[in-house]
Structure 1
Amino acid sequence: MSPRENFHYRAETSAAHYLNRSHPTAYTTEIAIANGEKQRNQEKRSRPARLYLALLMMSPDIKEPPPPDPTTDLHWGDYRGAIHEIFATNAKRFPNRECVIETSQSPRTAQRTFTYRQINESSNQLAHHFLAHGCKVGDVVMIYAYRGVDLVVAYIGALKAGAVVSVLDPQYPPERQKILLDVARPRFLVCIQRANEEFGKPSDIVMDFVASSLSIKSTVPALELSDNGELKGGNVEGKDCLEPQVSGREEFSNIFVGPDSVPTLSFTSGSEGRPKGVQGRHFSLTYYLPWMAEKFGLSEEDRFSLLSGIAHDPIQRDIFTPLFLGAKIVIPPAAVIAHELLAEWMKEHGVTVTHLTPAMGQILVGGATTQFPSLRNAFFVGDLLTKKDCKKLRDLAPNATVINLYGSTETQRAVSFFEVPSKAHDPAFLDHLPDVIPVGQGMLHVQLLVVDREDRTRLCGVGEQGELFLRAGGLAEGYLGDDDKTAELNRSKFLPNWFVDPIKWIQQYDHQVASGAYGPWIKLYKGPRDRIYRTGDLGRRRADGSVECIGRIDSQVKIRGFRIELGEIDVYLSQYQFVRENITVVRRDKDEEQTLVTYFVPEAKRWFQYLQQEEDGKVFEQDLLDESMTGMLRRFKSLSEGCKKFLATKVPKYAVPSICIPLARMPLNPNGKIDKPLLPFPDPADLALLAKRRASSITANMTDTQTRLATIWASILPNRSTRMFVPDSNFFDEGGHSILAQQLFFRLRKEWKDIDMPVSVIFQSQTLEALAAEIDRAQDPIGLRLDAMPLPGDRNVEDEAYAADARELVRQFPESFQRAATDWDHANTPPTVFLTGATGFLGSYILHELLEGPTKAHVIAHVRAKDAAVGLARLETITKAYGLWSPTWTSTSRLEVVVGDISKPHLGLSQNIWDRLFDEVDIVIHNGAQVNWMLPYSSLRAANVLSTLACIRLCATRKPKRLAFISSTSTLDNEHYSSKVGTAVLETDDLEGSRKGLSTGYGQSKWASEFVVREAGRRGLVGAVVRSGYITGDPGSGISVTDDFLVRLWKGCLQVGGRPNIANTVNAVPVTQVSRIVVAAAFHLPAAIGQSLGVAQVTSHPRLTLNEWIGALEMYGYLVPMVSYQEWCMRVKEYVSDAAKEDEHALLPLFHFVVGDLPANTIAPELDDANAAATLMRYDKETGYQGGPLAANAVSMQTLGMYLAYLVAVGFLPAPTKKGECELPRLDEARLQALAAGRLGGRSAKT
């Protein structure tokens, strides 16, 4: 690249940066800077270059930021002490502080919490065991690991003995484990008992190798820390192997180590099929932590997740950082880690700091909707971090700063960093960044250097591509090994600093030694070593001084956060007897995802001889001369699978290529080397030949709909082709997820333009056959198509599944229930109320009404949490944010929290608590439910229907109790009720009109729940059903739920710049009014004809229309003109389909509902509410409430102004853009601060 070309390139990036930051309207599109020489040549005279010239001429104070000075002192001798020593000191300072928390996935499995004292003493005991068996400083302890507290104990125990910690992943193939053991040559082996139980003990192959090839001093066969802190090691010769060291639990080992002592041995891929062992140094484990604590606000109050791979070096950050600070380590259950439940786990356990790879970050936020506002710092390491990944995380964790770390196993904790401030602090920060987040600048005394590849003595300027080197005092010791090859590898990767004469540091060191500046550890210090690590990456400096990584020089790659040496794969596959030649590369598939692809030339003669012997001579003679891609794939299909199976025994799963492609010969370049660009990538038709063979009869019997649907699946699902699918193929098993389901839904609407079905059908009918049948039914609602496939299974022609299920459930009821009292002197006998869903929006207001109203009730609140203390704290946080909490609730012992899960038997309560409720409770208010408009009935049945059965059982066992069940007008959302114009649905209606035709699983689950409650009422159960429509915010404070349909409708209209003309009325009632009616109905039972349980329907007086609701935007200063519904639908569809839109449309989860026929879908029948009025009137006589029971608190245009003001204040909506008819009201500042602390406003999955 010539100097002139380089200048223009630098001009482009600098001008883009300057103008985006200082003058965003002048130039808002940042130039892509990773497209190589071609783009630079094309854009020599681009507008940014000219602007940059002008800026330099007009603003002489604008200067290019200087590169780091590679001659400065990096303070190599500032040793802060060993991590295990600092941990032991912390344990003495605060022995009873929580140290490690093993969380549980199920309330039936107890959470385990261990203090600093317990971890310290158990690690002392393990250290003394190693020492008693002859452990020397530098001996390697290999841990057969499991993600849990035992791993923490094993790490610290080994370090206290002066040993080197290395980790063996039980999920690696035995052959891989043998190689790692051979590299590490451990003297001690520790098997964690939970690893033995979960994955099996080390295989015979591994243990035979240990016995024959290693000199093991001692094996701890089953390390396990019990709940009380007692450490066991497993039976050896008739007794526990750690028993002799019990007496030394309180004694620190006092083994002396220094900054250059080796504490860890980690593995990275080797180029010749053998992993390299990287020796860490004690210096690096602690040196950078005080700076990080100050820079990112880390403290002893933090809760660190333990999410990194157990055998990868980032897990050392997860363990050592909190132990250094005196903070907590929070460990997730295994089932949560690879699941969207991870976000819920983060929220529930209040994680504040996490270390992630980008791949793990995608798991965390992939299909999640749960916000986890407690997270303050998310450190990413291991692969390229994209702006898209950051955006999604910032949406779910708005208080989290995202820190992109750049380093490697060889650099240990010495890394560069790029900081993306939290969304709450700087919402628009990502707008100015490229698609790939930069790797930033070096942290304290770390320098990231971009070096000219042709002249290593010169550092590159802004925009120049160069090789990345990292200079720091915290680099690893080097690669393990004393052979010439290892020595050469160390010399090639860990280089002496060529920018400065080393005599400078030697003289400085001699002076410091003479002055006594160093501690006794100087004996284990090798003196100042000014080294630079060669990363093997290419990069360039940006105009803001940060660095971006643009690719690797060699063949080592990172895929999904895993570091893979392509040469290692090739060495192993070359050992397969049927492979003559092979090479592995990275290709991008049709979805631009990185994919490992291996090309191989078969040993054809040997392979066909094998087939003749093993497969009855089935060789396709007609294909023997066909060397095309299709012919080779057909002939060697089973060998391609064989290659993958062979590699699965040699390398980790993530390093097994997705595709193995046979070639007749490798393409060569003129130099006789394999020409990688000429390696062919198969098209989808060729890929189908790699799929498992299907019976021809299955293929022949697929309908036209199934075939067309398979084609669509192939275009959406990664690495799939049409011929890979059979009728029972499952969309989600084939790689689908919630985001791809949305894409599939849009494709279905495009393919079948007359189709009318909700997106939830994809979740309900997951197989190709079932979904095709639903498509056929949607096209043929009256059954005239002869080619349509029947729906799988039998359907009851009288009842749909939810109604049939409800009728089946009530068959277990007794003939009659013992009746509870129908009147209540609660003024003299305060009742005990059991409330579910207490932390939800409505639940919080019901709780407030119970405790602040006239009932004088004692409330037992059901909460999801690890224990009652955490549950109470969660309840206090939420109700404080809503302005509802009173400390007298707990000081007078009127509030008690029990923890459980409504989707579990007995509501997830312990047997003791469940039995206690039988005798103590007088009234049950069942408000808890899982609210999800996408999931089918079957997925909501446990949380919504079976929990209602559990509440009925609670009411009917021992002392008879009342039940107040909170239902929903979603039980009326079908044509039968919506067509009754001018006729109110009576409170005595039996809902038989909606036993068919409810389209959402949520509505179906509420219908089934109501059915069983009303049937119990017919048999004597005393109580009430409260059936409410839309529950809106608090009219006094404006607090609203942001994922409510009506709130999303506001945002959706703003996003498309218009509002639809829909005159339907909206049955929307404030949460304060609904909560009053719920409590009133629980204490003053609604009238019931011929039974002891009545229904109270909640409706608004008067009702606003949708035009009035959405028109409030215009009234308060937003520019959203009314358009026809058809025009509005078109805008929504265009917005959703526009890939350039970064913000997801607010109505996307309800896309079918809003664009299907919103005027028809929002017809809300009038409701009779005589029972609600009567119960509320009786209740209000007790409270002295004045002003009319039903007209009071109705939603008005002024109320909507409060809601809009709140939504603007919390950042859900932008501020109005013009002066409206009315100004948004001012909200209470104290209330807003409380809301910010609690980060409330969303609806949880289960309440």
Structure 2
Amino acid sequence: MDFALKDPSPYPTLVELILEQILQRPSQSAVIQEECHITFSQLDLYARIVAHQLSSHSLANEDVVGLLTSQGAQHIIGQVGILYAGGTVLPLDPTLTDDEIQMRLKAANVKYLISDSRHHGRHTVAHDLVLTGGVSDGLVPWATQWLGEIPFPLLAKFPLKLAHDHRSHIFFTTGTTGVPKAVQVLARGIARLQNFWNSDTQTRDGPQSVGHINSVGFDISLLDIWGALISGCTITVLDRELCLNPDWLASTLKQKAITAMFFSSSLFSIVSRANPTAFSSLDCLFVGGEAPSLLAVETVLRNGPPNHLFNAYGPTECSILATTHELTLCDVNQGRLPLGRPLNDTEVFVLNEKLEEIVGEGSGELALGGIGLARGYLNDVANTSKAFICIPDKRVPGTTMTLYRTGDLVQRYENGDIVWRARLNNEVKIHGYRVNLGIVEETLINTGLLMSAAVVKLLSADGLTASLVAGVTFKDCNTDYSQLLLMKARKVLPHYMVPQVVSLASLPVNRNGKTDRKELEKLLLKAHDITPDSNFFLLGATSLNVASLTILAREVLGVSLSARAVYERPTLEQLASHIDRVIGGDVLNDIEKSKQQWQSDARLAEALVLPDGHCPDWTSEGEGRIFLTGATGFVAAHLLHQLLLLPAVQGIKCLVRAKSPEHGSQRILENLIKYGIQVSEYQSSKIIPVLGDLSHPTFGLKDHAFEDLGRWTSIIFHLGAQVNYNQPYTVHRPANVLGTLHILKLLVTGRPKGLQYISSIAAVGPTGLLKRNAVSEEEPIDDYIDCLVYENGYAQSQWVADMIMQSLIRRKFPIAVHRLGFVLCHSETGIGNRDDFMSRLVTDCINLGAYPLLPNQRKELLPVDYAVTAILAISSSTRNLGRIFHITPDYESTSLDMLDVFREIQSLLDIPLVGLPYHQWLAQLQLRGMAKDLRTAPLMPMLTEKVYGDKTRWEIYEFMAKFRTDNTREALIAAQLGELIGKSAMDRNTLARYLAFIQQNGE
């Protein structure tokens, strides 16, 4: 990796900059600590003495010198002296354990160590220098002793002339991986911070008095020390204990006339909560280290802020800081804190997954370039090559530039603001789902209820299950708003990302002022307080815990407890009462009540009345205005893409849950990219996000907006649905039943229009139980209710919605129903939905080397491009309204059952795959789950819960009926797409592409 600059550095060297300040202000205090004042000229003299002592032991250029002293004047003198001698400073935080310090000394091959009297003797190296004398005597005795022994000409040769790219410092940083890496900071990166403290925004005369409170083991301390010295500022050393007493901090800042400081975000949050006026005496305050709390920023800005409050961003690998932004209440009101403008000669890029620059709006990884780049990691070529990359420099064709990949996910908005969102490597797996903890934390903070939040993954005592737990500090520390917080979070996050919440007085911080997640885990593990009223799911239970509970109920109590019962009775008291009823035999009554509710819900649309007039051809001139739901799903993404390609389409309004239209567009476009779909700027301009929720009447829109939407729309494509294989009907009802009812209300609002309702063959449930050989498209599905009592809430909600549609079709409503089979992937790219049932199942079976033997069980697998083309062909003719279509493999063709699928997988991958009886396969799968994360973990209730005799929910799908496709075949032939019928089923080539896709994606 080449870290050399293409052009010479425009700044003097670091040593030249400090000499310039020494000449300009020799008698000004450079460092103040308690009663000790060290002037710039004294600092220069003391540093020369240190440099001489190091050189007398043959210190070579860039030799590493460990610096183990208490924070303050001696440490600052040591740093300057090491650079005067041409060495590299390794600052060592004295609060580190001896083992931690020894690890750093060994990793950096340290042969020179400077320590003070307090820490001398903790470690032994070849050359040990002790700075004797205390701060109280101004180090005069120590300096006097050496001045009597060193001839002045020997001191005069210092400082040595250093190159711009001299390695000035090494900092060990663990980042989020926990593995220490030694970052090699270059002098040129620090030199570019000249006059940082004396910015254009400074509102006082004279140099700033910079408060030095940051740990010397934290790279931001270089801003306190070198940023101040090369800018001609005075460093005032502050007791780090001030951070623990905000009132004492506030009075100290005023008493010592501190005008400028850098504070870590975590400590800033703590202080702002306890004393929001603590920083009011400062001229400028920089906050960084991690993303600052929006609420903490607002609290300070509204309650006596400093003259200037900045968001400061920068990894150690870019020499302390890369960007800054002055924060205002306008930022707070917008709900985002921009990272700001690049600092001197820093270059900022947003990269996509292919490491290509994203121009304009977009979300991606932040990458940094320019003079501030470090020289990679010491003796660590592998990590250096991963983090520091070369990409083409489009500004100078034929050349490349070196960038540092920060690992930070950012969003760039239309106005150019770049906002931090999360750590890309802050992902954990929760029962097969990938969860970015930063996104969860951001969502919790954005509720406006919290000062701070940190989320961790905690394992259960037996190590078999895991849950997300959030440690939070509420804005109102006297009230616990946990229930309200979770309610708000559930509106934004998928169920598996909603954490358990534990309220804390404050979040623990480490010696660098960042949130100490290890300590947080210890606190949260002690925080459980379970009572009969405790909610199973608010305690962090997941679908895997539900599965474990149903198994335990059967093994310990001899009770068949359904997953539905657990979801519908989440408190321990409610569940215990239900178990008593089950033991008493009062279960059949529950089944009958459920059936009665489904049948009642199937009549919800009886009062709807169609508007007068004829349904238009949505593809005709002057029409082409589409309302689409489910745009952030898999099938809908492909349907949206195909609609955008049609010249007749004028605009597509997409219902989406989002905070703003920009956020809505971002979600939709990111979903397209997720499935390998590219759209042009012109095509994307046709996408119009409609912010709303299916489960809300009028989608949450104002009445007039809903009416306008009804008048605007030419056709409705309804694909939106909640899909969860474990949750009961009551959980699916709001989105899938009431949501469909709300779509139907839009259908009858305004002018006439058609509705294309995308359903699922799940609506008829496990047909094998009824001994049916075939299911025709037009037959009533009333009788299938008897199968569905053994199914999950999703299938039950689909039956209800399908029944509603059939009743309206009989009343001549312009509706077409498309019952889809299992849409697996795109036939050409192999890209599918990595979070669906098949992806999880196939991945775990491959890893296990075994699959379940389930005879004549078909998922009716089909390619998404066939499904979407068929839907569009059917929807393009008004003659197809009032009919039902099975979008499944053609009835006359041979579709693969599950045994065929796994035999093909074995052949394509050339791997051993053994077919096992179902319960033997399940036992092996669960055993593997004790040691490794299973992708099928979220499906465990479905896989384990016995619902029909000794059969589980999956097993009852054996000996399925086939789905007739007469209407679909007729419609495709009428649309002159008869050749498409032969492409309705998955073939070997498509399956091969799909397997390549899931393997490429780390499955």
Question: What TM-score does the superposition give when structure 1 sets the normalisation length?
Answer: 0.44
- Of 944, 947, 951, the residue aligned with 2:743 is 951
Structure 2 residue 640 is matched with structure 1 residue 842: no
SS at match of 2:723: coil
Q: Which residue pairs with 2:826 in the alignment? A: 1034
Matches of 1:1149 and 1:817, distance apart in 2: 41
Q: Cα deviations across residues 633-671 of structure 1 (Å, max 9, x unaligned)?
A: xxxxxxxxxxxxxxxxxxxxx8xx95xxxxxxxxxxxxx
Tell me: CA distance 1:1099–1:1154, structure 2 relative to 1, closer, same or farther (3 Å). farther
Structure 2 residue 889 is matched with structure 1 residue 1100: yes
Structure 2 residue 808 is matched with structure 1 residue 766: no
Structure 2 residue 333 is matched with structure 1 residue 291: no
SS at match of 2:984: coil
Q: Which residue pairs with 2:973 in the alignment? A: 1177
Matches of 1:1021 and 1:167, distance apart in 2: 76
- Of 1109, 1116, 1141, the residue aligned with 2:908 is 1116
Contact 1:1059 1:1121 in 2 (8 A): yes
Q: Which residue pairs with 1:328 in the alignment? A: 418
Q: Which residue pairs with 2:209 in the alignment? A: 137
- Of 796, 820, 833, the residue aligned with 1:1004 is 796
Contact 2:644 2:683 in 1 (8 A): no
Structure 2 residue 718 is matched with structure 1 residue 926: yes
Q: Which residue pairs with 1:1081 in the alignment? A: 874
SS at match of 2:678: coil
Q: Which residue pairs with 1:748 in the alignment? A: 553
Q: Which residue pairs with 1:1046 in the alignment? A: 838
Q: Which residue pairs with 1:1206 in the alignment? A: 997
Q: Cα deviations across residues 766-794 of structure 1 (Å, max 9, x unaligned)?
A: 1223333554566676769xxxxx98xxx
SS at match of 2:652: strand
Task: Give 2:418's aligned amino acid.
Answer: K
Contact 2:630 2:655 in 1 (8 A): yes
SS at match of 1:799: helix
Matches of 2:616 and 2:691, distance apart in 1: 30
- Of 970, 976, 984, the residue aligned with 1:1193 is 984
Tell me: CA distance 1:921–1:1006, structure 2 relative to 1, closer, same or farther (3 Å). same
Q: Cα deviations across residues 226-274 of structure 1 (Å, max 9, x unaligned)?
A: 99x99996699xxxx99xx89x99xxxxxxxxx9xxx9xxxxxxxxxxx
Task: Give 1:757's aligned amino acid.
Answer: S
Q: Which residue pairs with 2:518 in the alignment? A: 561
Aligned-residue offset at 1:796: 6.7
Higher strand fraction: Structure 1 or Structure 2?
Answer: 2
* Structure 1, unpaired ranges of 5+: 1-63, 90-119, 143-155, 250-258, 264-281, 307-317, 352-356, 370-394, 397-406, 414-557, 564-592, 596-653, 659-717, 785-789, 1213-1247
Tell me: CA distance 1:965–1:78, structure 2 relative to 1, closer, same or farther (3 Å). same
Aligned-residue offset at 1:1205: 3.5
Q: Which residue pairs with 2:624 in the alignment? A: 831
SS at match of 1:1050: helix
Task: Give 1:1165's aligned amino acid.
Answer: A
SS at match of 2:759: strand
Q: Which residue pairs with 1:1167 in the alignment? A: 963
Q: Which residue pairs with 1:425 in the alignment? A: none
Aligned-residue offset at 1:842: 0.7
Aligned-residue offset at 1:1162: 4.3
The total of aligned residue pairs comes to 663
Matches of 1:80 and 1:301, distance apart in 2: 17
Task: Give 1:834's aligned amino acid.
Answer: F
Aligned-residue offset at 1:1064: 1.4
Aligned residue runs from structure 1 range 582-731, under 5 A = 594=522, 725-726=531-532, 728-731=533-536
Tell me: CA distance 1:1048–1:825, structure 2 relative to 1, closer, same or farther (3 Å). closer
Tell me: CA distance 1:1093–1:1186, structure 2 relative to 1, closer, same or farther (3 Å). closer
SS at match of 2:819: strand
Which moves more between the two structures, 1132-1141 or 1093-1102?
Answer: 1132-1141
Task: Give 1:1176's aligned amino acid.
Answer: L
What fraction of aligned residue pairs are identical, expressed as a percent? 19
Contact 1:924 1:962 in 2 (8 A): yes
Matches of 1:858 and 1:1024, distance apart in 2: 21
Tell me: CA distance 1:78–1:161, structure 2 relative to 1, closer, same or farther (3 Å). closer
Contact 2:777 2:885 in 1 (8 A): no
Which moves more between the two structures, 1032-1041 or 338-347?
Answer: 338-347
Matches of 1:217 and 1:1148, distance apart in 2: 53
Task: Give 2:771's aligned amino acid.
Answer: K
Tell me: CA distance 1:896–1:733, structure 2 relative to 1, closer, same or farther (3 Å). closer
Aligned-residue offset at 1:1100: 1.8
SS at match of 1:1104: coil
* Structure 2, unpaired ranges of 5+: 1-105, 114-126, 128-165, 170-185, 215-227, 311-319, 325-342, 344-367, 378-383, 390-402, 444-451, 460-464, 470-495, 498-507
Contact 1:1055 1:1145 in 2 (8 A): no
Task: Give 2:907's aligned amino acid.
Answer: M
Matches of 2:254 and 2:844, distance apart in 1: 62
SS at match of 1:834: strand
Q: Which residue pairs with 2:770 in the alignment? A: 979
Matches of 1:1118 and 1:899, distance apart in 2: 48
Q: Cα deviations across residues 809-829 of structure 1 (Å, max 9, x unaligned)?
A: 547x44x12156346273545
- Of 1125, 1129, 1151, the residue aligned with 2:919 is 1129
SS at match of 1:924: strand
Q: Which residue pairs with 1:70 in the alignment? A: 112
Q: Which residue pairs with 2:178 in the alignment? A: none
Q: Cα deviations across residues 582-603 of structure 1 (Å, max 9, x unaligned)?
A: xxxxxxxxxxx857xxxxxxxx
Aligned-residue offset at 1:924: 0.9
Contact 1:967 1:1010 in 2 (8 A): yes
Aligned residue runs from structure 1 range 34-45, under 5 A = none
Matches of 1:366 and 1:163, distance apart in 2: 47
Contact 1:1030 1:1068 in 2 (8 A): yes
Matches of 1:737 and 1:1114, distance apart in 2: 32
Contact 2:717 2:755 in 1 (8 A): yes
Aligned residue runs from structure 1 range 449-598, under 5 A = 560-562=517-519, 594=522
Q: CA RMSD in A?
A: 6.3
Aligned residue runs from structure 1 range 1211-1230, under 5 A = 1211-1212=1002-1003
Task: Give 2:568's aligned amino acid.
Answer: Q
Contact 2:627 2:653 in 1 (8 A): yes
Matches of 1:215 and 1:933, distance apart in 2: 52
Aligned-residue offset at 1:1026: 1.4
Task: Give 2:553's aligned amino acid.
Answer: L
Contact 2:544 2:940 in 1 (8 A): no
Aligned-residue offset at 1:970: 1.9
Q: Which residue pairs with 2:611 in the alignment? A: 818
Aligned residue runs from structure 1 range 9-48, under 5 A = none
Q: Which residue pairs with 2:455 in the alignment? A: 360
Tell me: CA distance 1:887–1:166, structure 2 relative to 1, closer, same or farther (3 Å). farther
Q: Which residue pairs with 1:314 in the alignment? A: none
Matches of 2:279 and 2:991, distance apart in 1: 76
Matches of 2:931 and 2:873, distance apart in 1: 47
Q: Cα deviations across residues 1137-1179 of structure 1 (Å, max 9, x unaligned)?
A: 356622425366245436743432344333343333333333x
Matches of 2:435 and 2:885, distance apart in 1: 37
SS at match of 1:1026: strand
Matches of 2:279 and 2:964, distance apart in 1: 84
SS at match of 1:330: strand
